[in-house]
Amino acid sequence: MGVPVISGTQAPGPTRTRGAAGALGRVLGLVRYRFFLFAGLLPYVLGAAWAFGRLGHFDGWAFLAGLAGVALAVVGVESFNEYFDARMGTDRVFNPGELAPVPDWVLWLGAGAFAGALLIAIALSLRTGWPVVAFAVLGGAAAIFYEAPPIRWVYRGLGEAAIAVSYGPAMVLGSLYLQTRTVSLGAFWASLVPGLLIMALAVANAIPDFHQDRLVGKRNLVVRLGRGRGVVLYLTLGGAAVGLAMVGVLLGAFPAACLSTLLALPLLILSALRARETFESARLFRPAIRALLACYVAGVSLFTLGIALKSP
């Protein structure tokens, strides 16, 4: 596992306090960022939008309860990632003295959040059926073992795929099942739009961390392919997501309003233009990631709106 950094329980009192406050602030900041922009909210809303737009069904109570479970799951993901990244030294390769240690309670915060999400899924299953728990376990296993041992998806080159499954099919189809007690092939294809885009984001986010990921043995796709091919991969995934929305409309699987997803394409092109000359510089590459994130938010939001506006 490598040499762990000093834990919060081992550090002197003042450092432990700064570490605890810093770790909590960082986890909450990442939760707010990921939940409200993409990782939790948008795919979950897409599943409910499919139920409403295609089937005319919306259960407000189930939606809010499931949303609480999603929020807890995102807390668990970010807590686990923060803790295990620190233990592996991923974020501390080049500046080990500048970052406060991550205390052990961050791990327990993540475990408690995942347990709370599972309890909500079990409670919902009493009303809607056991598949709710199956979706929760599928998404949870992909999320928990993204960084955590013994699987560590991201160290095996499978982390990006695990993210795509968690925040694509598992999230969208789980949300749809909560509303309708059923899933459909059309909804599965729809779930690939956020799934492919969030996988593109995962690939792009790894490009600035190429050197430290390689040094700690994190064999993600960018480390395996190289940064240049990583840019090509994330642009291909993003283009495939937008293209899928267009093809789905042409084949009658999605409503015509989903063509509005194409309005996000210029943001993907902007990301490509910025990445072309900057992918070897972590600092200069950041605008390319921001453009891709804007493409994700705009594309999935427009696609979801198009699904919701479809009359059953």
Q: Three-state DSSP class for 202? A: helix
Q: Chain-centre distance of CA 109, in angstroms?
A: 19
How far apart are the C-alpha atoms of 311 and 307, rounded to whole Å? 9
Residue with tokens 């994130």: 293
pTM over 0.85: no
Q: What is d(CA 102, CA 82) in angstroms, rounded to the nearest whole number?
A: 8
- Report CA torsion sign: 91, 4, 145, 228: positive
DSSP symbol at 58: -
Cβ contacts of 262 within 8 Å, gap of 6 or more:
242, 245, 246
Each domain of the chain, given as residue ranges in start order, spans: 13-308
Residues 89 and 2: their CA atoms lie apart, in Å, by: 8
Task: Quickly list H helices, 129-257.
Answer: 131-144, 159-165, 171-180, 185-206, 210-215, 221-225, 227-250
Which DSSP letter does residue 209 get? Answer: T
Q: What is the pLDDT along the chain (312 residues), one digit of tens a residue?
A: 333 222 333 333 333 444 555 655 665 555 555 544 456 789 999 999 999 988 888 999 999 999 999 888 888 887 887 788 777 665 554 455 555 567 777 888 888 989 999 999 999 999 888 899 988 888 888 878 888 888 888 888 888 998 899 889 999 999 999 999 999 999 999 999 999 999 999 999 999 989 888 888 888 999 999 999 999 999 999 999 999 999 999 999 999 999 999 999 999 999 999 999 899 998 899 999 999 999 999 999 999 999 998 755
